Chains A and B, each alone.
Chain A
Amino acid sequence: MNDETAVGNGIILDIQKVTKEFPGVTALKDVSIQIRRGEIHGICGENGAGKSTLVKILAGVYPWGDYEGTVIYEGQELKLERSAIRQATEEGIAIVYQELTLVPSMTVGENIFLGKEPVEGPGINWDKLYADTQQVLKKYNLDIQSQAVVGSLGVGKMQMTEIAKALSEDAKVLILDEPTSALADDEIEGLKEILRTLKSHGVTCIYITHKLEEFFGITDTITVLRDGKVVTTQPSEDLSVEKLVGYMVGREMTERFPKGNRKPGEVILEVEGIRAQDPEEAGREVVKGVSFNLRQGEILGIAGLMGSGRTELVMTIFGEYGKITEGTMRLEGREVRPKSSREAMLDGISLVPEDRKRHGLVLMQSVLKNISLPNLDQFASWFRIDNLAELNASLKFAKSLDIRAPSLHVPCDSLSGGNQQKVVISKWLMSKPKVLIMDDPTRGIDVGTKYEIYKLMNDLAEQGIAIIMISSELEEVLGMSDRVVVMHEGASAGTLDIADANEEKIMALATGVANGNDSGNAVGSIA
């Protein structure tokens, strides 16, 4: 183990006592990890545990000299220079980031060779570009068309393109930074298949994810980080999800979903057969007949495959999607049909959007301004905002939701994903909603914070707020909902009471195998 010539030992990447400090925080402290050649090495940890900092050191975002300690790569110290972003790639370390970095309007081939197009004289040699693309795709068994426009692909295929892009330069080490946060379950399986192919080609992978189940059956070794330190590195077969969670949070996690004491009351929202069209494309119906009831103090889960119209449905209810062509919505018995988010808010409907960075927050602005943005009416007359009342109210929410930020005046882009999500939830709670729609509320959030968000959802429901929760994780739907509406191709395929819901029944409805009306398992309406 203490062999200095690590190459002979089969160690491709030897991170030795790396410490990285930021003003006021130590992001990594004495981190030592050895990555063996050809293995798939999982790294997990809560937000702020130091995963991203580690990736950024390997990518050269924090160049050599910006951190203490050494990184030995292929037997030599890795010295990445400042502002030489391609250097890591040239050395053979490729990174697939959490956020996709593709140009949607370009083809798969153009994206893969962006910045390194093969040239012939003054122009690009398109034939070679596409031939080379084919070769890469074929080598790693990636099922995408080289001439397909990236924007027209699903998220799964975009991810494949991203991986192909990383691999096109003969990467020896591929780092995947939370690659699955946007993928549906079947797409994750596809990704795992790709990783196995890569492994058979001798590519070393570092796999970072929040979804701990994903590690098993794919990784060889797992390292857990906590508070910038390595807690443990162990072979995957010795570990389990429970053990990992224990290491990550530093305590035993007995349950992933807190037991609430919810007592659903009266029906508050009745949705009957609503249909809505794509606002961008007239005539294309996306929501094709959805009906459900929502009770006060209830968490209603909405499940369905990607593209089943879940997000479009809730955006329609929130008044920010296409026009409702048919059907009715009744809130507390009164018919409502919000035509904008503002009208929905005034009716008492709020929505925590799926993509918090694009739709939930003004990232460059402070926590305070984000929380108060939809609620300025509470503090403002026509000519002035009462800044102190605004600060006071926002502070209350920041405290009760335990938003961890140095102050309310720091910009949101400096916060972790979990804290950002708390900001989004705060801003909508301040508007005092009767119905709170949460679209994938724990997406890209670490286990510890997820638990806090679940607890918060329970608290809110217990206070009588009716919650609609969309989730792409079936476990979450099953763990948190009182009832589950399953969507299939834009329509509600059935509603299951949580007592008789399980993964099989949900999947059967979601894939159209079973039909809510004759399956017998589905409860068409509440008793």
Chain B
Amino acid sequence: MNTDSKGSIKNVISSLARQFRANMQTYAITLALIGIWAFFTLMRPNYIAPRNFSNLFRQMAITSFLAAGMVLVIVTGNIDLSVGKLAGFVSVVVAKLQDDVWTQILPDQPILTTTISVLAGLATGALIGVLQGYIIAYWRIPSFIVTLAAMWMLDGAILLVTEGKTIAADQPALAVIAQAYLPDYVGWIIAALVVALLFFRMFSGRRKKRRYGFDLAPVYLDLLKTVLFAGLVVGYILMVNEYNGIQVLVLLLAIAVVVMTYVSNNTRFGRYAYAIGGNREAARLSGVNTGKNIFGVFVLMGFLCGVAGVAMASYVGYGTIAAGAGYELDAIASCIVGGTSTLGGVGTIFGAITGSLIITSLGTGLQILNVQAAWQKLVKGIVLILAVLVDVSFKKRR
């Protein structure tokens, strides 16, 4: 398989063609995103201006946390309808702690109280993930039903916590999470670290491959790829530094995306999730503990709901009864637009985040064009169906 004519041009081209076919979906959605950006920029040149560009990423962030977790949920053949309300519930819990509880128990300790509130929010999310996951994985009740029930119950819980009122969560220490920007030089340090890491990975990967005697792609190809990604990172930093700098929230999202991508590709947990979604029986007979894995996926989802909830409280600055309403469907739609199969077994974190970015880009673009809200919703629906249509036609051709 790797003996003949190493690195000959023909081999390179055929391996490139194979990679291209395998990643067609990724290219398609990336192209769609660029197309959408190009269209709105043509209509309103300031669409792609630093300020708008920067805001775009912040606006997509909260659903993107949810979408990143939702990918694995859908990949295992499940669904989670409770994520919007769970994030909302976490946000009101955080707001309540900030506004009501700490002012009485621990006054004048903004950093400490915010830290505890955030941790409590994350724990709440994870704990509810544990409960739901346990019922779904071990009692074998369909996730659709369990999470639908949880959605209602969390809606009730939000009312109980807020007592129908709006709770302020505008403490400066909390606001840092979703509203602060990092100074330019921090942005450049991060960019330098990421670029260094990209190159390090490339070279250490090649060294390891050589040790096993595998075929190496020509060095210029690997270099080209790495330079391209490095260029994207640098470009992004250039762009946002033109405005206020990197947003803390976007940085957190980037970390979550990298971690989730790693988990889904490079850990047993991730691999098993895909195997379960692909063929649950075969996975079980291969010694995969399917219950444990699905349980884990829901705990992770719950934790990410916690992150999204904390971000939500910090972003909007208050906890309300409407918090998180409808976010679950946005998260699911992001996954689907990004190529996650509702039948399970297929889907990438990168795709879901791009999907989320596409949906957000459309929304802000249409707003800039002053399109009525009614038409915005119509367009959103059409895009979802279009995305799936393209996906289906790709699969047919294969």
| Residues of chain A having any CB pair with chain B under 8 Å | 318, 320, 340-342, 345, 351, 353, 358-365, 369, 373-374, 376-377, 380, 382-385, 387-389, 391-392, 395, 398-399, 407-409, 427
Contact = CB atoms under 8 A, between A and B. Distances in A.
A361 B281 CA distance: 9
Contacts of A383: 267
Interface stretch (B174-182, B221-229, B270-278): B270-278
Nearest to B209: A388
Contacts of B284: 320, 341
B45 interface: no
A392 B275 CA distance: 20
18 contacts: A340-B287, A358-B281, A359-B281, A359-B282, A361-B282, A362-B274, A365-B345, A369-B274, A369-B275, A373-B283, A373-B286, A373-B288, A383-B267, A407-B18, A408-B1, A409-B18, A409-B22, A427-B286
A342 B283 CA distance: 11
Contact of A341 (B1, B214, B272, B286): B286
A457 B268 CA distance: 30
B216 to A, nearest CB: 12
Contacts of B212: 388-389, 391-392
Nearest to B274: A365
Given A369-B271, A373-B275, A388 B266 contact: no
A383 to B, nearest CB: 6
Given A341-B287, A388-B209, A358 B266 contact: no
B204 to A, nearest CB: 11
A360 B275 contact: no
B209 A364 contact: no
A514 B275 CA distance: 46
Contacts of B209: 388
Contacts of A365: 274-275, 278, 345
- Of A318, A362, A376, A377, most buried by chain B (CB within 10 Å of CB) is A362
A346 to B, nearest CB: 8
B288 to A, nearest CB: 7
Interface in B181-228: 208-209, 212, 214
B279 A363 contact: yes
B278 A385 contact: no
A256 B283 CA distance: 34
A465 B272 CA distance: 28
A407 B283 CA distance: 22
Contacts of B288: 342, 373-374
Interface string B324-354: 0000000000000000000001100000000
Nearest to A356: B282
A388 B278 contact: no
Contacts of B346: 364
A382 B267 CA distance: 7
A360 B274 CA distance: 15
Contacts of B374: none
- Top 3 nearest A-B pairs by Cβ distance? A362-B278, A342-B287, A374-B286
B285 interface: yes
B41 interface: no
Contacts of A387: 266
A358 B209 CA distance: 34
Nearest to A390: B271
B397 to A, nearest CB: 11
Given A341-B286, A359-B285, A385 B214 contact: no
Interface string B21-43: 01000000000000000000000
A467 to B, nearest CB: 18
Interface in B260-305: 266-268, 271-272, 274-275, 278-279, 281-289
A341 B282 CA distance: 11
A341 B285 contact: yes
B282 A362 contact: yes
A396 to B, nearest CB: 11
A368 B288 CA distance: 16
A342 B289 CA distance: 8
- Of B212, B282, B289, B345, most buried by chain A (CB within 10 Å of CB) is B282
Nearest to A365: B278
Contacts of A353: 285
Given A385-B267, A388-B208, 20 more contacts: A320-B285, A340-B287, A340-B289, A341-B286, A341-B287, A342-B287, A359-B282, A359-B285, A360-B285, A361-B282, A364-B345, A364-B346, A365-B345, A373-B271, A374-B288, A376-B271, A382-B267, A385-B266, A407-B18, A409-B18
Contact of B285 (A351, A385, A389, A409): A351
A398 B1 CA distance: 10
B287 A345 contact: yes
A202 to B, nearest CB: 38
B338 to A, nearest CB: 17
A342 B272 CA distance: 13
Contacts of B279: 358, 361-364
B289 to A, nearest CB: 7
Contacts of A384: 266-267
Contacts of A409: 18, 22
B283 A362 contact: yes
B289 A360 contact: no
B267 A399 contact: no
B278 A363 contact: yes
Contacts of A359: 281-282, 285
Contact of B214 (A345, A391, A399): A391
A391 B215 CA distance: 12
Nearest to A424: B282
A7 to B, nearest CB: 36
Contacts of A351: 285
A361 B275 CA distance: 9
Contacts of A389: 212
A365 B277 CA distance: 10
A238 B268 CA distance: 57
Contacts of A358: 279, 281-282
Contacts of A382: 267
A384 B268 CA distance: 7
Contacts of B278: 362-365
- Of A363, A364, A395, A427, most buried by chain B (CB within 10 Å of CB) is A364
A87 B285 CA distance: 40
Given A340-B287, A385-B271, A395 B1 contact: yes
Nearest to A377: B268
Contacts of A364: 278-279, 345-346
Contacts of A363: 278-279
A404 B281 CA distance: 25
B293 to A, nearest CB: 12
A369 B274 CA distance: 10
Contacts of B345: 362, 364-365
Nearest to B341: A364
A387 B214 CA distance: 12
A317 B310 CA distance: 50
A287 to B, nearest CB: 18
Given A365-B274, A369-B275, A380 B286 contact: no
Contacts of B18: 407, 409
A338 to B, nearest CB: 10
Contacts of B281: 358-359
Contacts of B267: 380, 382-385
Contacts of B272: 376
A376 B269 CA distance: 10
Nearest to B21: A23
Contacts of A380: 267-268
B394 to A, nearest CB: 14
Nearest to B271: A376
Contacts of A377: 268
A376 B209 CA distance: 19
Contacts of A427: 286
A385 B268 CA distance: 7
A407 to B, nearest CB: 7
A398 B2 CA distance: 13
A407 B22 contact: no
